[in-house]
Structure 1
Amino acid sequence: MANDISKRLLSTSKNSKLEKFGKTITFLCLVLIVFVVALILLFVAQKGLSTFFVDGVNLFSFLFGTNWNPSQTDANGLPVLGALPMIVGSFLVTFLSALLATPFAIGVALFMTEISPKRGSKIMQPAIELLVGIPSVVYGFIGLTVVVPAVRSVFGGSGFGILSGVFVLFVMILPTVTSMTVDSLKAVPRHYKEASLALGATRWQTISRVILQAAKPGILTAIVFGMARAFGEALAIQMVVGNAALMPTSLITPASTLTSVLTMGIGNTVMGTVRNDALWSLALILLLMSLFFNSMIKLITRPKGKKNYVR
């Protein structure tokens, strides 16, 4: 009986053929995904770099120029393309919204996992799922009809600007950061908490010095994911930021982001022109920033050896 079983396991059977077929299919899918991603990178890079190597636009002037006026030409006959206002606007709304959303996300996650898990799951989980399912255009419309007038009445100005974009993005990235933070807190081994409490630590000391410390890589990953979504958001920001290609002098003055300029201008240009190539250069900057965020996530989640969390 044992010999028959061993012969079946070692012989070429239908199951082993199906296993090889499944491995081949998964490998081909992996190759296809890598090929598509490589094509996207090459296409965007080719279009974006054409601004500098074909059209002759100076890279330093493009990245650090403060005047974006493609219809105007400089002394060399090239369009005036200074992308610094959009780059600064994108980074401002991204970092400020992440800075605002992080304390709320950590607080909600702690309530759902450590303070009141049952009540948190009944109340907060449906609310988070609802926020995730709302389309971007709805966020933008709510921001246009609620946030912009509120900012105008409280802080003055037109209401359009970085501050309105920060409030809209805060609500948009909050469920993403919260969900990932909850998963990180749940992944902390239970014996960490039990050992801390057994040593006489209070519940808050256990949460702040043990659980949050152990979940720090996951929480940082959640923050970076939220920043990546905020940096690439287009429609909602376009509706509330003001879309003025000017260096932001304050949080309540109209500004613009990389995504807002792209969505407004890409359909009004002719493929192959300098103005169109400049927009592809902005898209290349967005792509590079996405790769940067992914690299940060890899760096954060990389194993760094064992640590002592109980101090």
Structure 2
Amino acid sequence: MAQSLERQKAKPHIAEEWVGKVYTLLCIAFLITTIVSIVYFVASKGLSTFFVNHVSLTNLVTGLKWSPDGQPPVFGALPFIFGSFSTSILAAVIAAPLSFCAAVFMIEIAPKFGRRYLQPVIELLAGIPSVVYGFVGLSVIVPFFRDVFPGQGVGIAAGALVLSVMILPTITTIATDALAALPKGLKEGSYALGSTRWQTIYRIVLPTTLPALMTGIVLGIARAFGEALAVQMVIGNAPHIPHSLFESASTLTSAITLSMGNTAMGSVANNALWSLALILMFMTFVFVFIVRWLEGRKKL
């Protein structure tokens, strides 16, 4: 009698376990199918430029002129690639020191005040829409650069400054989590040897958490690399390599968003834009691999 009651109680648990397993497998299958479908679709469209329209890959990657309506049409994407890398890296150079200082302040110097007030304010920046950042940059940063520096104010400097504010929450959050997870024994041992607070931060805390900090920087660059609207509003969207930070430039995302609606599906110009999207996707994979490598270094 007791065994039968135990079997009856065990049946609902077994059913729930199977439901959970099936639901999990379906979700995993859906995610894998979605990722593979996106990669296949973008790759098939992007590679059509080379295999169907016979555009040279070397000319696309290293060409300096983008003229899809020319006779003959010319597709040189190097100005867009240069614009994407320059704005993203410059934004990370601006945002990384600010993020590290904010993280050190919240964890090591004033943890109560920083965690209660500063961290929510920084994380709030992540919820602001991109168009708001672009509009603020167009209304404040561009006129300031126009008055102070030569040029029209639009350019790589304006785009990088807007992007630096946008990626600030990403880098700060990862740096804060890394500093908070640091074992207290390391800092206490440093203090026991006579080190000051700043010596401990500079010689113990930052070197120990360096892989995690670099992970935050790479994720910030990846976030900036794929941004379209905010950069498009302040960079000028000129398809050439600028000679100054205050000259108009363009990025891969800007070129795609501005031109995709004006091309016919299947045309060589449309396929070339899909090739730019393929370059963006490839760079996303590169950033993911770098993050995985840094995480492996952190575990070591």
Query: Shorter-chain TM-score: what band?
Result: over 0.9
Deviations 1:42-87 (A, max 9, x none): 000000000000001111001100000101133xxxx100000000
Distance in 2 (alpha carbons) for counterparts of 1:18 and 1:52 = 51
2:49 to 33, 48, 51: 51
Residue number in structure 2 paired with 1:154: 148
Distance in 2 (alpha carbons) for counterparts of 1:38 and 1:192 = 44
**Structure 2 unaligned blocks of 5 or more:** none
Q: Does the aligned pair in 1 maintain the 2:125–2:166 contact within 8 Å?
A: yes
Deviations 1:161-205 (A, max 9, x none): 101001100111111111111011111111111122122221112
Distance in 2 (alpha carbons) for counterparts of 1:62 and 1:249 = 21
User: 1:130 deviation in Å?
Assistant: 2.3
User: 1:263 deviation in Å?
Assistant: 0.7
Residue number in structure 1 paired with 2:293: 299
User: 1:127 deviation in Å?
Assistant: 1.8
For the residue of structure 2 that corresponds to 1:270, the secondary structure is coil
AA at the equivalent of 1:51: T
Residue number in structure 1 paired with 2:79: 85
Residue number in structure 2 paired with 1:309: none
Query: What are the within-5 Å matches in structure 2 for residues 94-109 of structure 1?
Result: 94-109=88-103
Distance in 2 (alpha carbons) for counterparts of 1:23 and 1:191 = 41
User: 1:12 deviation in Å?
Assistant: 5.1
2:241 maps to 1:243: no
User: 1:126 deviation in Å?
Assistant: 2.9
For the residue of structure 2 that corresponds to 1:219, the secondary structure is helix
Residue number in structure 2 paired with 1:277: 271
Query: What are the within-5 Å matches in structure 2 for residues 2-17 of structure 1?
Result: 8=6, 13-17=11-15
For the residue of structure 2 that corresponds to 1:89, the secondary structure is helix
Structure 1 window deviating more from structure 2 (134-143 vs 296-305): it is 296-305
Classify 1:305/1:87 alpha carbon distance in 2 versus 1 (closer, same or farther; 3 Å). Answer: closer
Distance in 2 (alpha carbons) for counterparts of 1:241 and 1:67 = 18
Aligned residues: 299
Distance in 2 (alpha carbons) for counterparts of 1:240 and 1:282 = 21
Classify 1:277/1:124 alpha carbon distance in 2 versus 1 (closer, same or farther; 3 Å). Answer: same
For the residue of structure 2 that corresponds to 1:201, the secondary structure is coil
Classify 1:305/1:231 alpha carbon distance in 2 versus 1 (closer, same or farther; 3 Å). Answer: closer
Deviations 1:191-229 (A, max 9, x none): 111122122221112111221122112111111110001
User: 1:143 deviation in Å?
Assistant: 0.5
TM-score normalised per structure 1? 0.92
For the residue of structure 2 that corresponds to 1:302, the secondary structure is helix
For the residue of structure 1 that corresponds to 2:67, the secondary structure is strand
1:187 to 173, 181, 205: 181
Tell me how large the CA RMSD over aligned residues is: 1.9
Distance in 1 (alpha carbons) for counterparts of 2:297 and 2:144 = 45
User: 1:304 deviation in Å?
Assistant: 6.3
2:129 maps to 1:131: no
For the residue of structure 1 that corresponds to 2:68, the secondary structure is strand
Residue number in structure 2 paired with 1:37: 35
Aligned structure 1 segments of 4 or more residues deviating by more than 2 angstroms: 303-306
User: 1:303 deviation in Å?
Assistant: 4.7
For the residue of structure 2 that corresponds to 1:244, the secondary structure is coil
For the residue of structure 1 that corresponds to 2:69, the secondary structure is strand
Residue number in structure 1 paired with 2:68: 70
For the residue of structure 2 that corresponds to 1:13, the secondary structure is helix
Classify 1:117/1:172 alpha carbon distance in 2 versus 1 (closer, same or farther; 3 Å). Answer: same
Query: What are the within-5 Å matches in structure 2 for residues 247-266 of structure 1?
Result: 247-266=241-260
Distance in 2 (alpha carbons) for counterparts of 1:195 and 1:17 = 52
Residue number in structure 2 paired with 1:215: 209
Deviations 1:67-116 (A, max 9, x none): 00101133xxxx10000000000000010100111000000000000000
TM-score normalised per structure 2? 0.95
